[in-house]
Amino acid sequence: MSIIISAFDRSPDGGRGLARDTRVRWALEEVGVDYGVRPVAWQAMQEPAHLARHPFGQIPTFEDGGLTLFESGAIVFHIADRHASLLPEAPEARARAISWMFAALNTVEPPILDIQTAMFQEGEQPWAKARMPLIHERVRGRLRQLAARLGDADWLDGAFSAGDLLMVSVLLRLRSSGLLDEFANLAAYVARGEARPAYRRAFEAQRAFNTRPQSAG
Ligand SMILES: N[C@@H](CCC(=O)N[C@@H](CS)C(=O)NCC(=O)O)C(=O)O
C-alpha cells in the first residue's frame, strides 16, 4: 500500500465524518485505491515532521511515493485526475466538473465554516449570539442559489463527479444546523451522496479509526 493520508489521531467530532480526511477517503474509495492512515496528534500538528508535509500544520495530507500533497481539494483533484470515474473524459464536461470542485470549496464552504467559527471560536464574545442569524442568512443565500441550479437533477452536472463529492462533503457540515432541511432537493442530494457505497466505506473507516481503542500512556 503506497498511499498514506493523514488524519487527526482522534477527530474532535468523535467520528461523525466531518474532518476533511473523510472526503479524501471517499475519493480513494470511489476509485478503488487502498490507502493507509497516518494519525497526527494535536501536539504534533505544528511540529517540524508534520509541517514538512503541511505548511499550515493541518490535516489531511496525501503521500504517494515521493509526492506529498496538502489541501483536500488538491488531493481530491489529484486522485480524480489520475483515475477514471471522478471526472468526465470530455474536456468541457471535465472543466465544468472542476468548476464545481472550486465552487464547493471557495463559494459554498466559507460561509458554512463561519457557523463553526462563530460557535467554537467566537462563542464567548458578547456579539456572538447577534451575529449568528446573519451568518445563517448568508448560508441560506448560497443554498438557495445552489438548490435553484440543482433543481431535480441527481448531480450537479450529469454523472456524479469530484464536484459532487466535494459539494456533498461541504454540505454535510450543515446537518446539525437544520439549514439543509430547508431545501428538500439539497437534503436529497446529500442523502444520495451518503448512500454511495464508496461514501459508506469511507465513513465507516473514519468512524472505526476515530473510535478505536487507544492504549493507555
Ligand atoms: N483548506 C484546507 C483546510 C484544512 C483544515 O482546516 N483541516 C482541519 C481539519 S478538517 C485542521 O487541520 N484543523 C486543525 C488546525 O487548523 O489547526 C483543506 O481543505 O484541506
Question: Edge-to-edge strand order for the sheet containing 36-40?
Answer: 36-40, 3-8, 61-64, 67-70
Domain residue ranges of the chain, discontinuous segments joined by +: 3-85+199-211, 91-196
Considering the segment(s) 3-85+199-211 as one domain, its CATH architecture is: 3-Layer(aba) Sandwich (3.40)
DSSP one-letter string for 167-188: HHHHHHTTGGGT-GGGSHHHHH
- Relative to the CA of 19, which ligand 1 atom is closest? 10
Is the Cβ–Cβ distance between 167 and 108 less than 8 Å?
yes
3-85+199-211 and 91-196: identical CATH topology: no
**Residue 216: per-residue pLDDT:** 61
Nearest CA to ligand 1 atom 11: 58
Q: How far is CA 83 from the centre of its chain?
A: 19
Nearest CA to ligand 1 atom 3: 71
Q: Among 59, 61, 77, 117, which is best to mutate for testing ligand 1, by the most ligand atoms less than 8 A from CB? A: 59
| Ligand 1 centroid distance, CA of 155 (Å) | 26
Q: How far apart are CA 186 and CA 180, in angstroms?
A: 7
Residues with Cβ < 8 Å from 14, sequence gap 6 or more? Answer: 210, 211
Is the Cβ–Cβ distance between 147 and 179 less than 8 Å?
no
pTM here is: 0.97
Considering the segment(s) 91-196 as one domain, its CATH architecture is: Up-down Bundle (1.20)
Q: How far apart are CA 205 and CA 70, in angstroms?
A: 20
Nearest CA to ligand 1 atom 12: 58
| Ligand 1 centroid distance, CA of 53 (Å) | 13
**Residue 128: per-residue pLDDT:** 86
Ranges assigned E (strand) in 55-132 = 61-64, 67-70
| Ligand 1 centroid distance, CA of 82 (Å) | 24
**Residue 94: per-residue pLDDT:** 98
Residue 81 burial (CB count, 10 A):
12
128-to-115, 136, 141 alpha-carbon distances in Å: 10, 13, 20
**Residue 217: per-residue pLDDT:** 52
Q: Split the chain (217 residues) into runs of 10 and give each run's mean pLDDT.
A: 93 96 98 98 97 98 98 98 97 98 98 92 88 95 98 98 98 94 98 98 98 78
